[in-house]
Structure 1
Amino acid sequence: MASNKYDIAMGIGGEAGQGIATPGDILARIFVRRGLHLYTYNAYQSIIRGGHIFLTVRASDQEIYSHGDKLDLLLCLNQDTMDRHLNLMGPGSRVIYNGDNITPGEVNDGVHMCPLPVGNLSESRNRLVQNTIAVGAIMSLMGVDFEVLEESLSLRFQRQGQNVIDENVRVARGGFDYAAENFVPFYDILPDGGKPLAVWAGNDALAMGGAAAGVKFYCAYPMSPSSGVLHWMAANARNLGIMVRQVEDEIGVANMAIGAAHAGCRAMCGTSGGGFALMTEAVGAAGMMEIPVVFIDVQRAGPSTGVPTKTEQGDLWQALGASQGDFERFIVAPKDALDSFNTMPELFNLVDKAQCPAIVLTDLLIGEGRFSVDPDDIDMHPAIDRGQLITEPAPANGYMRYENTETGVSPRALPGLPGYVHLVATDEHDENSMLLSDEFTNPLKRRMMVEKRARKFHDIVKEIAPPQVEGPADADVTLIGWGSTEGVIREARQLLADRGVSVNQLAIKWIIPFHVDAVTQNS
């Protein structure tokens, strides 16, 4: 990275139940309010207590696109973290830990060890106070006024009452003062003065994008790392007029979402890889019935249950092959949280126009990561296009729900409109919606309907921006990735450029429809 860039990364490690999220939330709020860009990644085990959790928090006065590969500060909440990560610390870094019960190991030259006498700084029996004491020490090392931390603590604990606020402010002050007297601060103080930013998770962005797109029905069965979408929807459903349902399993989820979409409202559902496996027949049903509905797959490592709490782009082939036969569906992989938000209104407009299902592929890195965002970049009132949707009764003489049109898209009537009686089923059908399985054989009608559905994408691809090469046009190497790898590749390009290597990148977002010509020409 450029030397004039303020860029600090810290790791917070401990076990489940030690309240690691609290110092992370407090620090994140302080960073974004000072106009710093934020990128976090939380690696945790799939257990309620114990195990190992490691939260990486990176902040910079310039845009950042990954959590990076360095650590300037390590906060050890238990011995395991010290043993696992101390060897990662280089010259000029700081290691903060509870000196009462954590034993430091052998350190590299130039590493500043910062033991805190937690017992002397707090008389509380609550072991979680060590987190707040440590945050106080961190703010001191970064040159931040204590009043800034006091305000953040008041906001963080306001729901728990003034007594809790006062206790945390008191112990934080102890850590702050102790660090000022005993530890060497960072050379660069935490900058201030940039435009205050907001912070959100990728799952929040997906949910908010759906709400902005006009989603009125969301359902899911909780499954990490997609559950954050359900949490946001449930918390905001009443104010936004959205019906939210937690269903008994992913089969019910998918079919319930399709039913809601068939009734005329914009509907979506969310899951991860194992749950999406159960949804795949329903994806094909939506394709056959030509119903616009969105399936979200926040990927984790597989196969089967795999690694529920780690990120991986493991579901691409599953999305490409979801259900049986050949049918049109959109598959899109947003590159970051803001792109996730912006993709949802665009995607809902596309599925309404093409009358087919869509699959959104994100992953744990985006879904559960927390990122800074400029609130001015969030448009909660995007353009809405419902396509050829018939909503008003009118004389209809022989309505053909699946009329074989030139574009392949047939006017869609909402259920219950007088004069628009039609059959909606998972079997193949003719233009009048009568099932072909009721005839002895009619391959011509079957072929006509397959080709009709296929024509939908002949023109729709023109409405989707193709991928563009970023970086020098005459670069020696082109790095190609899709989805969340965009940010890592972008920063890798910058590092390689500093070493004199000419590199550009091609970040692919739309998997289907795939821009063959653009990818071929630029790779």
Structure 2
Amino acid sequence: MSTNVNFMVGGGAGQGVQSVGFILAKAFTRGGYHVFADHDYESRVRGGHNFFRVRVKDSKVRAITEPVDVLLALNKESIDLHGKELAEKGVVVFDKEQVKDIGGNGNLLGIPLDRLAKENAGNRLMANTVALGAALGLVGYEFEILDKLLREHFGAGEIGDGNVKAAKAGYDYAQENFRGAFSYHLSATGDTKRMLLNGNEAIALGAIAAGCKFIAAYPITPATSIMEYMAARAKDLDLVVVAPEDEISVINMIIGASYSGVRAMTATSGTGLCLMVEGLGLAGVSETPIVVVNAQRPGPAVGLATRTGQGDLEFTLHASHGEFPRAVFAPADVEDAFWLTIKAFNMADKYQLPVILLTDQHLASSYATIDKLDLSKVTIDRGLLFSAEEEGKSEYMRYRITKTGISPRAFPGQEGVLVVSDSHEHNEEGHPSENAENRTQMMQKRMRKLFSLKNELASPQIYGPRKAETMLIGWGSTYGAVREAVDILRKEGTNINLLHLSELWPFPTEAVANALNNTLNSYVVENNATGQLAHLIQAETGQTVTGKILKYDGRPFTPAYIVREIRKEGC
């Protein structure tokens, strides 16, 4: 029997929901399981309702799922809100001395969480850790793994010891009182070592592996943890991490760093990118390579600060006034986020243009297990760099017109070279020019880069048969949910496949058009209200998709949601 268990930790902000959920995910990762976890939280310091979902499988898992097998309810509200989501044999762990008059289906397993925390650890705040221990006790998981993790997380002192005692009390209580109450038994499957990362951590690691040495960012959900991850390692890795006064300063700082020869990036969300668009144009006209992470959240304005969405696609493609080349990548999952970040830096340097990594809150904060990253596959491409010796002369023109549109790049202070750059339209030397012929030549020079750049981008991924009666089309973080939906529907006999885009611009026109020609019905799956990828497909290929499956409530897709919507279409 295959393992597929879905845990949920629910409670208010300040009850340690995230800590319990993360440690639970890490415990199963240490035992050799595959894990996918996500965190749903409100934009509040205390109060409000939060939950953390952890899906555990004995095979690769790429998405959340809807039925809850084990609900750790740290307050009554969690039972009221999520009791109806319980699987047929699901169970609820709650504090039977604090929560009364509860409803919900499934088995209600009352445990005196507060009292056990106070009696065993001397601190009722550790009631969440009692619930964590109880969860592992229910499934018979090895307590030694949790013991070690708690000491790593909280330290080896009084707090660490207290949390271990609290967890052991919950574990023993569940073992003694509810043996057999839950139908799943989970034991460590071996010592297979996997990494447990979220999307932002993967991007930060990718940037470090790519040789990024400067990041400037203004704190903003859901992008902030990229800067935090790099800041925590700045001293050891010789990174410069700066948090300026606003996003306008941010993008000008990274342009300056890159102009001097340093690989530089920023991480923001849509509201921050709005303030950066003039600077983005400066990078475009000055042909300065930068990497910008736009971790999307629903807008407009502040919108839903802690929720997910894909509403910035068309904005990102055209942000800033005027026309200049750029690349836009949208990682499909955690591992893809690592490798696409490295590619973003290489493409930015090689083609001397801005590259935007378009992620979202779901990918940014969701955790997934991945195999160890093979760093031997990391390559660094700094592009065409000017060398007086190689050129055979010392004369240098920063914007020399070439067949590819790529000019040899030199850095200020480089011996024998004068680097001139300007925000105006300029001539080959870099001096401002309003000459009509020069303007035409410079525009053509910059835009020519797109022809070579397009050939370096990966084609959209086709999952399933190359030809199918129905095709789902997705981009970015929807990959896991759409892929699993395809698996479910194929098992039911539906002739269906998936076309997924991660490298969005320059747009893979021919590949998408060919895929559309090999299907009868096509449905775009997007976390926005207007079907922006569907519109882009029509604009670039001239073809119209059959329909759209759109979700814009700030929550990510589940495989089951997509399956239900496809069934409504009669597929």
TM-score range, shorter chain: over 0.9
SS at match of 1:360: strand
Q: Tell me whether 1:344 sits opposite 2:341 in the alignment.
A: yes
**Does structure 2 retain, via aligned residues, the 8 Å contact 1:396–1:420?**
no
2:186 corresponds to 1:190? yes
Distance between the aligned counterparts of 2:218 and 2:245, measured in 1? 7
DSSP-derived class of the 2:407 partner? coil
Measure the CA separation in 1 of the matches of 2:76 and 2:163.
Answer: 23
- Alpha-carbon distance between aligned partners in 1 of 2:236 and 2:387, rounded to the nearest angstrom: 25
Q: Distance in 2 between matches of 1:391 and 1:263?
A: 16
Q: CA deviation digits over 1:354-396, x for unaligned, max 9? A: 1111111011111111111212x34276111111112677874
Note if 1:60 corresponds to 2:57. Answer: yes
1:293 is displaced (CA, Å) by 0.7
SS of the equivalent of 2:306 reads coil
Q: Secondary structure at the match of 1:390?
A: coil
Q: Is the 8 A contact 1:400 1:431 kept in 2?
A: yes
Q: Percent identity?
A: 39
Q: Which residue of 2 aligns with 1:179?
A: 174
Task: Check 1:468–1:173 CA distance in 2 against 1; reply closer, same or farther (3 A cut).
Answer: closer
Structure 2 counterpart of 1:113:
108
1:382 to 373, 378, 383: 378
Does residue 296 (structure 1) correspond to residue 293 (structure 2)? The answer is: yes
Distance of 2:333 and 2:311 partners within structure 1: 17
2:310 paired with 1:313? yes
1:134 offset after TM fit, Å?
0.8
Change (3 A) 1:380 1:308: farther
CA distance in 2, matches of 1:61, 1:119: 33
**Unpaired segments ≥5 residues, structure 2:** 517-571
Where in structure 1 are there 5+ consecutive unaligned residues?
none
Matched with 2:506 is 513
Distance in 2 (alpha carbons) for counterparts of 1:325 and 1:167: 60
> Is the 2:328–2:504 Cα contact (8 Å) retained in structure 1?
yes
* Deviation at residue 179 of structure 1 after TM alignment: 1.1
1:274-299 CA distance string (max 9 Å, x none): 00110111111101000111111111
Out of 275, 279, 282, the position equivalent to 2:276 is 279
Partner Cα separation in structure 2 for residue 298 and residue 172 of structure 1:
35
Note the C-alpha offset of 1:465.
Answer: 1.5
Q: How far apart are the structure 2 equivalents of 1:431 and 1:162? A: 64
Quick check: 1:212–1:380 contact (8 Å CA) kept in 2? no
Contact 2:31 2:145 in 1 (8 A): no
Matched position secondary structure for 1:39: strand
Alignment partner of 1:99 out of 76, 96, 101: 96
For residues 205-284 of structure 1, the aligned pairs below 5 Å read: 205-284=202-281
Mapped to 1, the partners of 2:18 and 2:461 lie a distance apart of: 37
Cα-Cα RMSD: 1.7
Q: Whole-Å Cα distance in 1 between the matches of residues 130 and 177 of structure 2?
A: 14
TM-score norm. by structure 2 comes to 0.87
Between 415-424 and 277-286, report the one with greater CA deviation.
415-424
State the alpha-carbon separation in 1 of the partners of residues 78 and 324 from structure 2: 50
Q: Is the 8 A contact 1:143 1:185 kept in 2?
A: no
Corresponding residue of 2:161: 166
State the one-letter code of the partner of 1:471. Answer: G
TM-score by length of 1: 0.94
Judged with a 3 Å threshold, the aligned counterparts in structure 2 of structure 1 residues 250 and 21 are, in CA distance, closer, same or farther, namely same
CA-CA distance at 1:235 after TM superposition? 0.4
Conservation of the 8 A alpha-carbon contact between 1:214 and 1:266: yes
Q: Deviations over 1:154-208 (max 9, x none)?
A: 22221xx432233222222221222122223433311422412221111111011
Q: Distance in 1 between matches of 2:423 and 2:7?
A: 52
CA contact (8 A) 1:197 1:373 kept: yes
Aligned to 1:332: 329
Q: Greater CA deviation, 410-419 or 352-361?
A: 410-419
**Does the aligned pair in 1 maintain the 2:214–2:254 contact within 8 Å?**
yes
1:82–1:104: 8 Å Cα contact kept in structure 2?
A: no
CA–CA separation in structure 2 for the residues paired with 1:251 and 1:434: 25
1:426 paired with 2:423, answer yes
The number of aligned residues is 511
- CA contact under 8 A between 1:75 and 1:95: conserved in structure 2? yes
- Which of 478, 488, 492 matches 1:485? 478
Is the CA contact (8 Å cut-off) linking 1:401 and 1:422 kept in structure 2?
A: yes
Query: Could you say if the C-alpha distance between residues 119 and 279 of structure 1 is closer, same or farther in structure 2, counting changes exceeding 3 Å?
Result: closer
Q: How far off its partner does 1:321 sit?
A: 1.4
Give how far 1:328 is off: 0.2
The residue aligned with 2:437 is 444
Which runs of structure 2 are paired with 1:7-26 in the superposition (5 Å)? 7-26=4-23
What is the CA distance between 1:264 and its match in structure 2? 0.4
Q: Which amino acid counterpart does residue 161 of structure 2 have in structure 1?
A: D
CA distance in 2, matches of 1:433, 1:22: 53
Identify the match of residue 469 of structure 1 among 454, 462, 469: 462
Shifted more, 114-123 versus 305-314: the winner is 114-123
Residues 178-187 or 81-90, more deviating: 178-187
Does structure 1 residue 494 correspond to structure 2 residue 487?
yes
* Contact 1:225/1:364 (8 A) holds in 2: yes
Q: 1:104 to 1:474 in 2, by over 3 A?
A: farther
One-letter amino acid matched to 1:340: A
The offset of 1:40, in angstroms, is 1.0
Cα distance in 1 for partners of 2:189, 2:370 equals 16
**What code does the residue aligned with 1:485 have?**
T
Q: CA contact under 8 A between 2:18 and 2:39: conserved in structure 1? A: no
Q: 2:51 & 2:469 partners in 1: Cα distance?
A: 37
Query: Secondary structure at the residue paired with 2:485?
Result: helix
2:147–2:164 Cα contact (<8 Å) kept: yes
